[in-house]
Structure 1
Amino acid sequence: MRLIIAEKPSLARAIADALPGAAKREDGAIVVGDTRVTWCLGHLLEQAPPDAYDPAFKQWRLDHLPILPRQWRLTPRPKARGQLAAIRRLLKQATTVVHAGDPDREGQLLVQEVIHYLGWKGPVSRLLISDLNRPAVVKALAHLDDNARYQSLYRAAETRSRADWLYGINLSRAWTLIGRQAGHDGVLSVGRVQTPVLGLVVRRDAEIAAFQPRPFHVLWVNLAVEHGQLRAWWHPAEHHPLDDQGRLLERPPAAALAARLPGASGQLARLESQHKRQAAPLPYSLSALQVDASRRYKLSAKAVLDACQSLYERHKLITYPRSDCRYLPEGHLTLAQKALHGACRGDETLDRWLGGADFSRRSKAWNDKRVGAHHALAPTGTRPDMSRLSNSEANVFRLIVRNVLAQFYPPLEFREIKARFEILGEDFRAQGREILDPGWKPLFATRDEAPPLPSLREGESASVIDQGVEDRETRPPEPFNDASLIKAMMNIARYVEDAEVKRTLRESDGLGTEATRAGIIETLLERGYLVRQQSALRATRTGAALIQALPEAASRPERTALWEQRLTAIAEQDAAPSPFLDGLIDDLRGLLDAADTQRMRQALTTAQGLDAPARKARPTSRKRSSGPRQTGNAKPRTRRRKVPS
């Protein structure tokens, strides 16, 4: 009997539907001929808690730290025991096993750890599916691979899981205990990704709070030229009081020049015109989609991920969504026209855009060399029933289809124009652009283009018909929202000060992964470290205090982004995990040595931030620890909260 183990029930159903023969359900599986298709429910196993290694660790004590397992153990998740038992029973009957986890690091881990945990010693094949439509699944079933080829991917995921446990368990216990000593009643969770993300928000909020607006002044003129009118702006010479961005800091020079301008004339001293072509934006990765959907539709990162999962699993309208790639396989190019015709026929807007597509075009999006375990998000070709989609699902679907459809539109062509006028011996500048061919742009436009400059000729005269001085102020940085925080996590090198690390991180995948970024934001909200103010994400007092109390290295992105590089080396270059884990343990010891009650007390006293919304207390029959609070040795009452990753 062949046993196929899928990552989740929806994938198991898609596999069973693609197998020849009639399918019937049995306990924990679908039977099709001599094949049984069973499933996990996400992770069926998790890292064992500290007290599984030593019962003494059930009590939280600083002198236990760091807790370092010698022989790692997994334990079933409480709600997964029934399905785990079903897989155990099926494995006893199997002659071959097929691993059908999602085609990524975590998908490799969560099925393979079950196979190892249940003691299977026989052959294992690997089934890679990124599209749940029947033709794609049939094709994947015909091209099974040897699971041994993916052992380095498994080791990377296993190493990530162990490293997260070491980091989260030890630092969360340490800072919770010193927090108790400093008067904070509750768990202070620390994670290798969530804490640097919180640090980004806390530091941005601090910049906003400390910001001192500075006035500056701008002078504009409306000019009459040979073929119309335009507005130009004064560029003061360096002898005027300017800031580092060339803004005028004192009003009198602008006011004095404005008083001389009525009736003045000059000439167009220099005209620059450059013809430019701009290709369509690439198809989406998940994070790029989350950024655009947040900006356009005010959707949270989690709402976009949930919509994508539904479009993939329930409606089968898009390919695998948790992708970090923005390119498509070259082999998909010949199938794209049929897929887009199917995807667009259920929607008036998409159908109109389809009419402008030229399928003889080939953009740079089709590139096998840029495709890894996943390709960019794309429509499967299934015709959508838009009446069955929620507003969020419909909007996200249109974005995904639009970005693939745009690959068959011509480039945007425009002429960029820069004009410099000399009037009364002063420099005035104007710039604009003239659209020559809108190409793909109408599919993306949300507002009208600014009117182009009139036709200009270098040396022509210009007369002042109006002028004015505007008094402005510098503005603080914008608070993070879902779009900007996801973008910051994608481009984390911008927030790194060390030049060498910055260069290295420009080539990395950023902070977190496509599959985890939305969850990280939601975790910080659930734990009361962030709050939403309309669309803005702001730190709470507790979140700000935690960042202030931690060593700076624990709240900055360098460490965790470099972690991802080390894990990638394990996955792609078969690097050994042990040097990475040994280095992490050395780091942990240094961080634990920095746990300081006085610093925690000071942070709790001085932290600036918002109040977290009150959360309902969870009923529990567990007795409170009778240990003395002031020693920091008692187990906190809220220990049941999950330790972060």
Structure 2
Amino acid sequence: MRLFIAEKHEVGQAIAKTLGNPRRKDGYYTCGNDVVTWCAGHMLELCPPEDYDEALRKWTLESLPIINIPWKYRVIEGRGKQFGVIANLIKQADEIVNAGDTDAEGQLLVDEILEYCKNRKAVKRILINDNNEKLIRRALGNLRENSEFFGLYQSALARMVGDKLYGFNLTRLYTLKGREKGFNGILSVGRVQTPILGLVVARDRAIADHRKTYYFTVKGQFSIQGLNFPALFRAPEDSPLDEKGRIESEVYAQRIASACKGQPAKVISVDKKIKQEAAPLPYDLLELQVDASRKFGVKADKTLKITQELREKKLITYNRSDCRYLNDENHQDAPEVLATIVGNAPLFAPFVKKSDPSRKSRAFNNANVTAHHAIIPTQGRGDISSLTEDQRNIYLLICRAYIAQFWPLKESRVIIVNLEVEGYQFRAVNTQIISPGWSALYKNDKGNQEIESGKSDDSTTVELSQLSKGYEGFCTDCQSEKKETLPPKAYTEATLLKDLKQVAKYIKNSEIAKLLRDKDKGKKGESGGIGTPSTRDSFIVKLKERDFIEEKRKLLVSTKLGREFHDALPATATAPDMTALWHQQQKDIQEGRINLDTFLAGLVKTVTEEVIKVREMGLPIKDNSPNCPICKVTKLRRIKGKNGFFWGCIGYPSCEASFPDKRGKPNLEPKPKANAGDTTDHACPECENGNLIKRRGKSKKTKKFYNWYGCDQYPTCKASFFENDAKLKFG
């Protein structure tokens, strides 16, 4: 029996259909002598420290660093049944085919199962990046030895084990040292999460450190051949310019304006060209998250959830794709997909009618497709009126981007006129749309950077086509204008997600920046990014939960805690350099220049050195949380509850004070929800230092109230007793 193990059910289903005569069983398909089963993403996870040693469940500085090598796996909760199916089929198989996705992660998630199950049978590899039957049939005829991809598996394993080892050691280290300063939250560190915090902190500080400076422009008004239009002075290189090529001398700008005003002008060149613009590419997950945030205010993590729901309804293709291109074979399905769009969303009927399914846009390019193609509508029928508003909006975005691939190019006539006055040159640019083409689908989409080319200072709405070289006239007026330099803009969720695709531009070391760009070589739309489309949003959510960043008026900014924590970390942790260096080592592992053990040994050394340093030097972080006004012993902490943030006493349950959150601070004006209790004269029988406090509780099971006692020395003493406890001797 030959066993195919796919990464996800829909791929397994497509393989079974291609093999022919599939019969559905519980967790697999049979196709004659072939069996096809599937994973649900990763089926295994690395064990936490306490699975190696129960003593490691407690966080202590003495236990660090924790080096769990060799590592152990465990089955992810909720996936035990399907894993059992896979493991049982592996035992029965004569030959196995790894049908994971074609990227490193796809190689890893099947190979780790085979390793866990101690498989020693022959394993082949099939490379599938599209569920198109023709492509799968071609891949079935070109099976390769799985051993050819051992380096790819090892490189992915290095990243996974490295992330775990780095993350839990430094998170425990900084959290424990933070507690010494009175901070009781989790100070989490991660290879991707922490550099994202670094980006936000750097942006906030660039804004705060911005010092207002000025630059100057010179604009003339011209009258030539009956046309009146503006043109912008083009400063020569020997002018007093700043690093961005802007005039920084007001005296110089005023001198140019005075010299040109009222003087004869001459057209020295006219450049006329037709500009053709292709439609925006179909979506990958990140671009969809960006547009959903910009247009509808939908958070990135919610967009991921919604696309998963749409995929489960069979309305869209694989939703976690990091690719914006399609296979040539996808083009053959265009008539059916367009017809399905009309059936599901009749509002697109007029636009589909004007589409040409035979048109092949730049999106259809096999060479640019990675493990998955772009997110597009399927041929699945559905009633979009039954969708939620957010589901409908996102489905319509995906449909629009697909329809645009079958519309004509947008065509514009661009005329550039260069003029000369008193030896000084000016330029005017006029753009006239000849045919809107696909842009008619986007005419109400303001703020979309992909379709808005943006107007430059030398743009004019005056049609300049009648001008020719040698025409003469006058510069009727000329004025200099003082302009203020602007600070960088604070991040929004959309702009931060965009930047995560290109963080290499912030790396000062050009060689390291190149390593990060090399990681994304051949991956269209990525240029030295960190994280993946399906995980980036989760890091932003985690940073918010840790109170390292917060959202103010739709802007993402760092908190005081976030900045202090950032400053307490080594530069290697807050910069994306580590991802670049790890990529180079993973590449070396993949190509056999180093082995996994060498990589991990270097990482263990780095982590150990950081543990020793922080253990000795401590953590320069302050806990400025307000004192609890009820117990007056401990502090209040901002907590995220199911209904949003609130402030609670960290002395809970001895003190149950809580206050609503008001713009990031506790609102102490309302009467607090508290059960401070009544202090008794009875000593605590556990510690014998404190007195017992009588409290009121409510049973979740019976809903009845009861009395209980806690020590007033909490959290030093965490003793608690029911009223009828034998240890209580009240006389």
TM range (shorter): 0.7 to 0.9
Using the TM superposition, give the Cα deviation of residue 485 of structure 1 relative to its aligned residue in structure 2, in angstroms. 1.8
1:327 corresponds to 2:325: yes
| Equivalent residue in structure 2 for 1:385, among 383, 397, 413 | 383
SS of corresponding position for 1:339: helix
Q: CA-to-partner distance for each residue in 1:600-638, whole Å, 9 max, x for gaps?
A: 326778xxxxx9963247999999xx9xxxxxxx99x9x
Distance 1:600 1:417, change over 3 A: farther
Q: In the alignment, what sits opposite 2:367?
A: 369
8 Å contact from structure 1 (residues 130, 320) kept in 2: no
8 A Cα contact 1:549 1:599, kept in partner:
no
Specify the alignment match of 1:454 in structure 2.
Answer: 464
Equivalent of 2:607 in 588, 598, 602: 588
Match for 1:547 among 536, 557, 566?
A: 566
Q: How does 1:159-308 map to 2 (within 5 A)?
A: 159-226=158-225, 228-235=227-234, 242-249=241-248, 251=250, 265-308=264-307
The equivalent residue for 2:508 is 497
Q: CA deviation at 1:199?
A: 0.7
Aligned to 1:614: 639
Which digits, 9 at most, give the CA deviation of each residue in 1:56-76, with x for residues without a partner? 434434343332223211234
Instruction: Note if contact 1:343-1:384 (Cα within 8 Å) is conserved in structure 2.
Output: no
Residue of structure 1 in register with 2:418 after alignment: 420
8 Å Cα contact 2:564-2:622 kept in structure 1: yes
Distance in 1 (CA, whole Å) between partners of 2:301 and 2:341 is: 24
Q: Provide the TM-score with structure 2 as the length reference.
A: 0.71
- Which residue identity lines up with residue 454 of structure 1 in the other structure? L
Cα distance change on mapping 1:443 and 1:58 into 2, 3 Å: same
Whole-Å Cα distance in 1 between the matches of residues 547 and 571 of structure 2? 21
* Higher RCO structure (Cα 8 Å, ≥6 apart): 1
Distance in structure 2 (CA, Å) of the matches to 1:424 and 1:250? 20
Structure 2: gaps of 5 or more residues: 447-451, 456-460, 521-528, 625-635, 642-647, 655-686, 688-714, 719-731
* Structure 1 counterpart of 2:345: 347
User: Residue 726 of structure 2 corresponds to which residue in structure 1?
Assistant: none
Deviation, structure 1 residue 48: 1.7
Report the equivalent of 1:518. Answer: 537
2:65 is equivalent to residue 66 of structure 1:
yes
What per-residue deviation string (whole Å, max 9, x for no partner) do you get for residues 505-527 of structure 1?
A: 32323211232222222222222
Structure index of larger Rg: 2
For 1:481 and 1:499, the matched residues in 2 are separated by 27
Residue identity in the other structure for 1:421? L
Name the structure 2 match of 1:430.
428
Q: 1:249 to 1:152 in 2, by over 3 A?
A: closer
**CA deviation after TM superposition for structure 1 residue 355, in Å:** 3.3
Match of 2:336 among 335, 338, 350: 338
Structure 1 residues 98, 388: CA separation in 2 closer, same or farther (over 3 Å shift)? farther
Is structure 2 residue 485 aligned with structure 1 residue 486?
no
Q: Match for residue 631 of structure 1?
A: none
CA RMSD in angstroms comes to 4.5
Tell which deviates more after alignment, 10-19 or 336-345.
10-19
1:205–1:479 CA contact under 8 A, matched in 2:
yes
Contact 2:418 2:425 (C-alpha < 8 Å) held by counterparts: yes
* Residues 197 and 548, structure 2, Cα contact 8 Å, conserved in 1: yes
Deviations 1:553-588 (A, max 9, x none): 111111113323443565577974233223322333
Q: Find the aligned partners of 2:509 and 2:342 in 1 and give their Cα distance.
A: 47
Residue type of the partner of 2:639?
Answer: A
CA shift in 2, pair 1:56/1:291, >3 Å: same
What's the CA shift for 1:188? 1.0
In the alignment, the residues of structure 2 paired with residue 334 and residue 378 of structure 1 have an alpha-carbon distance, to the nearest angstrom, of: 14
How much does 1:336 deviate?
3.1
Q: Measure the CA separation in 1 of the matches of 2:278 and 2:28.
A: 48
Identity, in percent, stands at 35
Give yes or no for contact 1:270–1:421 (8 Å, CA) kept in 2. Answer: yes
Could you tell me how far 1:189 is from its partner in structure 2? 0.8
Inter-partner Cα distance in structure 1 for 2:414 and 2:277: 12
**Alignment-mate amino acid for residue 369 of structure 1:** A
Tell me the alpha carbon deviations over residues 333-372 of structure 1, each in whole angstroms, 9 at most, x when there is no partner: 3333433333344334543333343444444433333333
Give the distance between the partners of 1:574 and 1:395, measured in 2 at CA. 49
CA offset at residue 476 of structure 1?
A: 0.6
Change (3 A) 1:336 1:10: closer
Aligned to 1:564: 583
Asked whether the 8 Å contact 2:185–2:546 carries over to 1, the reply is no
| Aligned residues of 2:16 and 2:22 also touching (Cα < 8 A) | no
* Gap runs ≥5 in structure 1: 606-610, 627-633, 638-645
- Aligned partner of 1:615: which letter? K
Q: Is the 8 A contact 1:6 1:100 kept in 2?
A: yes
1:578 to 569, 572, 597: 597
Quick one: distance in 2 between partners of 1:20 and 1:410? Answer: 42
* Stretch of structure 1 that moved more, 549-558 or 294-303: 294-303
Alpha-carbon distance in structure 2 between the residues aligned to 1:599 and 1:208: 30
CA shift for structure 1 position 389: 3.4
Cα distance change on mapping 1:590 and 1:277 into 2, 3 Å: farther
Shift of 1:320: 2.0
Whole-angstrom distance in 1 between the partners of 2:653 and 2:22: 52
Secondary structure, in 3 states, of the residue corresponding to 2:500? helix
Are the structure 2 counterparts of residues 244 and 15 from structure 1 closer, same or farther at C-alpha, using a change threshold of 3 Å? closer
Contact 1:550 1:595 in 2 (8 A): no
8 Å contact 1:221–1:231 — kept in the other structure? yes
What is the match of residue 52 of structure 1?
51
Paired residue secondary structure (1:600): coil
Give the whole-Å Cα distance in 1 for the aligned partners of 2:307 and 2:649: 31
Q: Deviations over 1:373-425 (max 9, x none)?
A: 22233333334533233343344334434444444444444343333333466
Residue-pair matches, total: 619
Distance 1:36 1:568 in 2: 34
- 1:156 is the counterpart of 2:158: no
Distance 1:367 1:15, change over 3 A: closer
Q: Distance in 2 between matches of 1:621 and 1:143?
A: 64
